[in-house]
Each structure stands twice: as structure tokens, then as C-alpha cells.
Amino acid sequence: MVSLARTIRHLRRAGFREWWRQMQYIGDAKWGAYVGKDQFGNRYFENRDAEEEVPGRHRWVDYAQHEYNATQVPPEWHSWLQHIRKDPPNQDSVMQHLSPPWKAPYVENLTGTRGAYKPYNTVAPKYNTWEPKVHPRA
């Protein structure tokens, strides 16, 4: 947090529920203009007031899922968040016409989840486990 006065100001603007949610998720109270939403339901915001935010942190994402990671941000929104593009993808004419209709939609990285890619092994194992041969007693 930058200051107590800033936190109280954001609490008044956003309301207690949204303020509490932001404190739980990102650890800071932020307030800005809604810019857009992606196919995952993530919401993107921007605060252009130079006195309010730390430089470089005036654009942020509010993830739709509780268990979130950075791969849930599509490339076009990532370029806007990192200041590679000036305009957000929903307002940039180049980005709207860039993706052809036959292209598959963006999928987040599923490593570490149940949907992760698991290759099928077709090679016989080099070592086999030992199985003792037990003869019945006479």
C-alpha cells in the first residue's frame, strides 16, 4: 500500500466488497476505468491518474478464477498490460483483424493440472521389477 489516505479513497470509490476482494487477491486497493474483458472472463482496468498509481502499475487484470496464473492472460491482452501496445485489443483495429477465423482460440498452460499433456510411452522398460518365484512347501 502506498498510503492510508489512498486506501480510504479507493475504499470509498470501489465499495467495501470490491475493496476487500482486491485486498485478498492482489494485496492493494486499486481503482480505475474498466477497459475490457477476455474470453476467460478476466477483466482489465487502467488508471491514468499519475498521482494515484506507481508508474508502470496503472494497468492490471482482475482474474475470473480463484486459482489464477499468468498463462490465463491471452497474448493480445498481455501485450497491452506490458505497454507493448498503446490501445487495448478491443479498441485496436490491427489486433481485431490480425487473428484469422480459422485459428484455434488461445488455451492457457495446463502444466500441473489434470489437463496437462502426458505422453504415451511405447518403449519397453530397460529394467523390469524383480518378482520372486515362490515354490510351495512340501
Which string of DSSP letters, residue by residue, matches 94-135? Answer: HHHHHS-TTSPPP----TTSTTS--PPP-SPPSS-------P
pLDDT in tens, 83-93: 888 888 888 87
d(CA 61, CA 74): 11
User: What are the residue boundaries of the structural domains of the chain, listed by start?
Assistant: 37-47+59-129
- Would you state the pLDDT for residue 1? 45
pLDDT < 70 positions in the chain: 1-2, 50-52, 99
